[in-house]
């Protein structure tokens, strides 16, 4: 089922990824949908809740996964929860959602089930203490939030951020995936592990 909203970003025989860009910080919001069951999950309820709710209703979204707790990634959460969608966030970032609420915790190495799809939860601190990425089983898809972008790691000048920690997260948690793994970040365009991994030493040398 292609989206009537013109949002299809990636697909294979098992799944669809839909993408919209919302809010003043041009946040990527992704919906991953299991073709076999019609169930879907939304990644990062960032902003423009009316648009996200329309997307959720069209695509069979059952719940929301948050990559981290920064304000630009959570503005639509109250409306999503009011509409009946459960919101999951890591323990370490849950305090950042105190004003918008959350429902369940995400743990490192946890497997999230969406229809017949499976997502690995990968704790990769540095941008925030509780930042997580989501890797789809049996598909070359890695949703990295603000941990990895084309050209480098996410910003680490925020309270609770750490450049050394985000570099370690990239080196030991994300750059272990195959080079053809598609990185779908919280802002901007897609990239791949093979495009970014060779530049890690450059990022360390420049310090950001």
- Class (C level, CATH) for 8-206: alpha beta
Q: Mind listing the pLDDT tens digit for each residue in 6-49?
A: 999 999 999 999 999 999 999 999 999 999 999 999 999 999 99
pLDDT of residue 2: 47
Percent of the chain whose pLDDT exceeds 70? 98
Rounded Cα–Cα distance for residues 105 and 97 (Å): 12
- The per-residue pLDDT of the chain, averaged, comes to 97
Nearest by Cα to 146 from 39, 67, 34, 201: 67
Asked whether residue 71 carries a pLDDT value surpassing 70, the answer given is yes
Partners of 88 in beta bridges = 65, 104
* Predicted confidence (pLDDT) at residue 189 exceeds the cutoff of 70: yes
Distances (CA, A) of 127 to 33, 141, 154: 27, 20, 6
pLDDT, residue 4, reads 56
pTM exceeds 0.85, yes or no: yes
Instruction: Please report, for the chain, the start and end positions of each structural domain, with discontinuous segments joined by +.
Output: 8-206
């Amino acid at each position: 089922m292609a989206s009537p909203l013109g949002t299809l970003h990636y697909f294979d025989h098992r799944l669809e990824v839909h993408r919209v860009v919302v809010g003043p910080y041009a946040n990527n919001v992704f919906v991953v949908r299991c073709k076999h069951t019609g169930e879907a999950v939304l990644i990062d309820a960032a902003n423009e809740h009316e648009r996200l709710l329309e997307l959720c209703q069209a695509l069979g979204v059952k719940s929301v996964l948050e990559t981290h707790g920064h304000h630009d990634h959570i503005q639509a959460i109250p409306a999503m929860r009011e509409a009946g969608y459960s919101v999951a966030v890591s323990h370490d970032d849950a305090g950042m959602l105190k004003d918008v609420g959350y429902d369940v915790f995400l743990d490192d190495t946890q497997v999230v089930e969406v229809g017949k799809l499976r997502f690995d939860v990968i704790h990769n601190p540095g941008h925030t203490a509780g930042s997580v990425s989501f890797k789809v089983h049996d598909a070359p898809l890695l949703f990295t939030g603000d941990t990895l972008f084309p050209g480098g790691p996410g910003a680490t000048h925020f309270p609770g951020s750490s450049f050394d920690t985000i570099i370690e997260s990239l080196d030991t948690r994300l750059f272990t995936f195959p080079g053809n793994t598609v990185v779908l970040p919280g802002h901007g365009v897609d990239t791949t592990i093979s495009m970014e991994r060779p530049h890690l030493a450059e990022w360390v040398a420049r310090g950001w």
